[in-house]
Amino acid sequence: MTGYKRVLLKLSGEMFGGGGVGVDPDVVQTVAREIAGVVNAGVQVAVVTGGGNFFRGAELQQRGMDRVRADYMGMLGIVMNCLALQDFLEKLGIETRVQTAITMGQVAEPYIPRRAIRHMEKGRVVIFGAGMGMPFFSTDTVAVQRALESRCDVVLVAKNGVDGVYTADPHLDPTATKFDELTYDEAIARGLRIMDQTAFALCGENKLPMVVFGMEPEGNILRVVQGEKIGTLVSAG
């Protein structure tokens, strides 16, 4: 059973909110406990979170707000999630650093790839906040870019309510079947909406594998990291 040495975990903002607005402490505590288990197994971990539990730039734009300003608001929402996750990780004895793409010296370090790598080598979890620091980029794209720049072996996409990649939305189509493995070319040809297209193209071009899996039951992140066949492995083929 093969495993990964350094992973980037992508978490949605909606997960942090437990389906609502704001941060659900019980959910964040559970996620922190999962990540702590991975770190204690000797795996280096970086995290990228979304901010959809606070703001979604594209949706605010539809309601008349300037897209650039709305995206920056979303980035600040992401930082709030990062700080919450950092707090719960450190309560579990896991040293954690938040690095942000927008400078905010009182609460986080600036994003410096070499420093992030050094933190991970020392067993610290690095949480990348404030997205790319620029509007018009999704946190999907940020996750892949940060994984590449910090030399992670894989991007782990943790989902709520779905346990992998299906031929169609399993909530809408009862005949949808799950893929165990998939290439980036196959996913693009089938029009599967796993991540946004920029993120997908970056993964494919750089041969960075991705595992899409469900957060249920607890312990799944560690199982994936240790090489168990959970969810869907997407690779360059």
What is the rounded distance in angstroms from the CA atom of residue 202 to the CA atom of residue 185? 12
* Residue 61 banded pLDDT, cuts 50, 70, 90: confident
Contacts of residue 219, defined as CB under 8 A and 6 or more positions apart, other chains included, come to 34, 37
What average pLDDT does the segment 125-152 reach? 95
Burial (CB count <10 Å: 0-12, 13-18, 19+), residue 92: middle
pLDDT tens-digit series, residues 26-42: 999 999 999 999 999 99
Q: What is the pLDDT of residue 60?
A: 75
| Most confident among 31-35, 161-165, 181-185 (mean pLDDT) | 31-35
DSSP state of 180: S
pLDDT at 2: 60
pLDDT of residue 59: 74
Given a cut of 70, whether residue 1 has pLDDT beyond it is: no
Retrieve residue 16's tokens. Answer: 């942090």
For residue range 62-94, what is the model confidence (pLDDT) as tens digits?
888 898 998 999 999 999 999 999 999 999 999
